[in-house]
Amino acid sequence: MSDSNPYGPISRLNHWVLAAAMIGMLGFGLYLEYSGLPREAKRPLVSIHRSLGVLVLILGAWRVGWRLFRGFPRAIDTTPAWQQRAATAAHWILLMGILLMPVSGIAFTVFRGNPLSVFGWFEIPAQAEIPWIVSTASFVHTYFGYMIVAVVVLHAGAALKHHFIDRDATLRRMLFGQ
C-alpha cells in the first residue's frame, strides 16, 4: 500500500475480480429468469450458474474478509458528507451481496433436499427439507439481486461522475497505482 493510494494492489485486484464476477452472475441469473428458455435447455445453464456461484462465494469470502480486516479507506476529501454516507451505505450493501447472493442460492438448493455438485469437483450435500429456509432464501436471492443491480448502477455511475464531472482521483485510485 503506498502513502498516496489507500487502495493497494490486493484491494484493487479484489475489487475488480469480484466486480466482474458479480456483474456476470447478475446478468447470468437475469438471463435464466427472463430468456424464456424451455426447462430442458435451462437445466445445464442453471447447473453452471450454481457452480460458478459457489466459486464466487469462496473468492468473495476472501475479498470481504480482507476489506473488514483492513477497514474502508476514506473518500477523497472534496466529496460532500452526504455523498460519503451514501457511498458507505452502498459499499456495505455490495459487500453483503457478495456473500448473501451465493449463500441464499446454496440454501434454497440444499434445503430443498437436493445435493449441489460444483462442476463435479466437489459436492455440498443435500439437507433435510426445510420449507421456510427455501422460501426465505429464494426471496432474498431474487429481491436482494434486484437491489444489487440498482446499487451497482448507482455505484458505477457515481464513479464515472467523480471521474468525468468532478475530475477527482476516486476512480483513478481504484484503477491505478497512484
Instruction: Pick from 5, 75, 111, 137 the residue near ligand HEM by CB under 6 A.
Output: 75
Closer Cβ to ligand HEM, 46 or 133, answer by number: 46
Residue 114 has phi, psi (to 5 degrees) of: -105, 140
Q: DSSP assignment of 3-30, as one string?
A: SS-SS-HHHHHHHHHHHHHHHHHHHHHH
Instruction: Pick from 5, 54, 111, 137 the residue near ligand HEM by CB under 6 A.
Output: 54
Does 97 interact with ligand HEM (rule: CB under 6 A)? yes
Does 29 interact with ligand HEM (rule: CB under 6 A)? yes
3-class SS at 64? helix
Each residue 143-172 as x (binds ligand HEM by CB under 6 A) or -, in order, gives --x------x--xx--x----------xx-
Does 37 interact with ligand HEM (rule: CB under 6 A)? no
124 burial via Cβ count (<10 Å: 0-12, 13-18, 19+):
middle
Residue 9 has phi, psi (to 5 degrees) of: -60, -35
Closer Cβ to ligand HEM, 102 or 111, answer by number: 102
Q: Which three cell numbers stand for residue 65?
A: 474478509
Any idea which residue has 454516507 for its cell? 85
Partnered with residue 118 across adjacent β-strands are 122
The residue ranges that bind ligand HEM (CB under 6 A) are 11, 15, 18-19, 22-23, 25-26, 29-30, 32-33, 42, 46, 49-50, 53-54, 56, 67, 75, 87, 91, 94-95, 97-98, 101-102, 105-106, 109, 116, 141-142, 145, 152, 155-156, 159, 170-171, 174
